[in-house]
Structure 1
Amino acid sequence: MRLKTPDWWYKRGGKGAPLTRYALAPLSWLWQGVTLFRQVTAKPYASPLFVISVGNATLGGSGKTPVEREILRRLRKLDLNAAGLSRGYGGSLTGPVKVDPATHTASDVGDEPLMLAADYDIYIARHRPDGLRLIENSDRQIVITDDTHQNVKIHKNLHILVVDGDTSDDAWPFGDGAVFPMGPMREPMKDALKRTDIVVLWLPNEQAPIDQKLLKCFGDLPVYAARLIPMPKSPPGPVFAFAAIAKPWKFKTTLTELGYNLLDFQPFADHEPVSEAVLTILCEKAEQRGARVITTEKDWVRLTPEWRARIDYLPITARFDDQGGFMRTLTEHLPD
């Protein structure tokens, strides 16, 4: 059973955190100790490919996947051959294998790789060096590696750190800075920033302001804002919605901002499979109310073809405030 993300993880100063969390301090210290040991003893594989890591300092929900897709799109426009490499979280295949949307399912390769593979060359490998070696046999020159900011098994040429920039309603992307399981951090922020070349702030809509206090956290690093741009396939109307993502409340907010009449919303843990029974109930309730059922694109790709025919999804894309500036900074790191 997957656990839902605690809301207080992402509240400024850990507001609302239960006192019992401090009982987890020894586990947090152990987590940090193991991380440090892996970093000190690491012998990363250095691929001849140019490896761009897109990761984060927290556990999930920072906007990595739409940012990765936008980078792949922009590199293609520049006629640069790029592929994506993922661990394939949630899939049964260990890889290395190239994702084929015609034959693979989310239960094989994971939801995010399957979603991206509809438009780009995406590979999965539980052991990332094996994935890089497979891609080396193709004509790809650049690899976008998903969620590898803390991965010590491969050498990265460029580190892009994606940070949730939404600080509305007293939200703060790092909570009180506590490391898992006491808080959302995979490692102390100062350690994550030491390896960072570019910071991307992920904002929930076109109007969201950039928090100047948050910007100061990144010192002299180049920071670029990327915004969630929803692309509804049909006009908003009455819906029953569900989401199994790290921060499901953000999907609920997006639907509300778009003008959907949200009759019911069901949140689930990140990557949690939604049962046939739950889907049946949602669809029956929607039919009774003359409504539709809608979910995220990531959740939609996990559904069977039969359920996909009955359930809508909300496509989103990432749009940089300074697209030209971001790509100039990125390409400056590429070899001649």
Structure 2
Amino acid sequence: MAREPAFWHRPRSWQSRLLSPLSMLYGSVAARRMQQPGIDAGLPVICVGNFHVGGAGKTPTVLALTDLLRGIGETPVVLSRGYGGRLPGPVLVDPAAHTAADVGDEPLMMAARVPVIVSRARAEGVGLVKAQGATVILMDDGFQNPSINKDLALIVIDGARGLGNEQVFPAGPLRAPLPPQLARTDALLVIGSGEAGARVASTVSAAGKPVFAATLRPDPQAVEALQGGPLLAFAGIGDPSRFFRTLRAAGLDVRRERAFADHHPYSTDEIAELAEQAKREGLTLVTTEKDLARLRGSKAARADLAIAAFPVTLQFADPHALCALVAQRLNVRNV
């Protein structure tokens, strides 16, 4: 996936106006597709999605919901399309046998903590999810995909970025016009703070939907290990700047930044260049867990190269309120 164009985050740009006819066509098709009927999975389905393309924190949200669901006695299994992987599935992700090139970086990373089924056609993966003893299906993305009916659609946005210019792709980042997406939204989760996120929260709240807040918290051991020296931070995620901000907010000395596109497949030359720069300037290489998962098993990975991961976990501001909503949807489904 290419990096987002800057004009997506500028209001009333000439690029957006030029692309608006294409956006109208794309948005019309996307809105009609969302209204198509889906299958009943036979289990409660919680979908963690976005209104827009790119990342906003879906993966840490899925992992946090995994812990929340286990805390109320449920057995969640994640169902993912496996973006970036070559295997069409359905397949149970095995971190010992698969690479990111097989199943995608996010499923590979999550599989260390929760069973993950990758299926390019999501509905075809339901049977394998059930075979793992699931009591709840956690869908990683797929909000706009109508193939499976959802019992709870939780939309995730980044508080600092919000929805950009709020235009539909390709004039902006929205995957479909906002009204049909909002109609199918059950709750919003805003990660971090910012005026852009507050505007979206206000819109969702005005529509009568609950809004929750969360923050990304770095792993204390990772922070301690990286406090000793200056860093060269690199990331190929939906919003690399958020990663760099998180490092600095933890008090770490980030001297250099390198941003790549989301799911970027690192080449041998790119990693060698990063390693050479780090060595030349006396810096420690650090990246996200997702990037490190993508590097493992790739040709770019080198046994002699030390790259530190910087794990983060999502913390809900009011986990009890979110847990109550989840439990209510599960109970309604099981009645």
TM, length-normalised to structure 2: 0.90
Q: Using the aligned pairs only, state the percent identity.
A: 37
Root mean square deviation of aligned Cα? 1.9
Q: Does 1:217 align with 2:203?
A: yes
Would you say the 8 A contact 2:31–2:180 is kept in 1?
no
One-letter code aligned to 2:259: P
> Any idea what the Cα deviations from partners look like across 1:306-334, whole Å, max 9, x if unmatched?
54762111100000111111111111110
* Change in CA separation of 1:84 and 1:211 when aligned onto 2, cut-off 3 Å: closer
Letter of the 1:8 counterpart: F
Which segments of 5 or more consecutive residues in structure 2 lack a partner in the other structure? none
> What residue in structure 2 maps to residue 63 of structure 1?
57
Task: Provide the rounded CA distance (Å) in 1 between the counterparts of 2:265 and 2:245.
Answer: 22
Cα distance in 2 between the residues matched to 1:271 and 1:43: 31
1:286-325 residue pairs with structure 2 within 5 A?
Answer: 286-304=278-296, 306-307=301-302, 310-325=306-321
Gap change, CA 1:37 and 1:224, over 3 Å in 2: closer
- Which residue is 1:10 aligned to? 9
Structure 1: gaps (5+ residues)? none
Say whether 1:96 aligns with 2:90: yes
Per the TM alignment, residue 212 of structure 1 is displaced from its structure 2 partner at its CA by: 4.9
Give the drift of 1:241: 1.4
Alignment of 1:191-206 (within 5 A): 191-203=180-192
Contact 1:67–1:226 (Cα < 8 Å) also in 2: no
- Cα distance in structure 1, aligned partners of 2:187 and 2:32: 26
The more displaced of 219-228 and 109-118 is: 219-228
- TM-score under structure 1 length normalisation: 0.90
One-letter code aligned to 2:249: E
Q: Using the TM superposition, give the Cα deviation of residue 20 of structure 1 relative to its aligned residue in structure 2, in angstroms.
A: 3.2
Report the equivalent of 1:153.
147
| Kept after mapping to 1: 8 A contact 2:190/2:201 | no
Counterpart among 230, 238, 248 of residue 240 in structure 2: 248
**Aligned letter for 1:328?**
A
Question: Mapping of 1:16-27 within 5 angstroms?
Answer: 17=13, 19-27=14-22
What residue in structure 2 maps to residue 108 of structure 1? Answer: 102
Deviation at 1:210, TM superposition (A): 9.6
Q: Is the 8 A contact 1:109 1:124 kept in 2?
A: yes
Q: How many residues align?
A: 322
Q: Is the 8 A contact 1:292 1:311 kept in 2?
A: yes
SS of corresponding position for 2:294: coil
1:144 and 2:138 correspond: yes
Alpha-carbon distance between aligned partners in 1 of 2:31 and 2:241, rounded to the nearest angstrom: 33
Instruction: Give 1:209 shift.
Output: 8.4
Distance 1:55 1:34, change over 3 A: same
CA-to-partner distance for each residue in 1:277-301, whole Å, 9 max, x for gaps? 1111211222233321011111010
Listed one character per residue, the Cα deviations across residues 202-228 of structure 1 (whole Å, up to 9, x for unaligned) are 116xxx789654432112211110111
SS at match of 2:330: coil
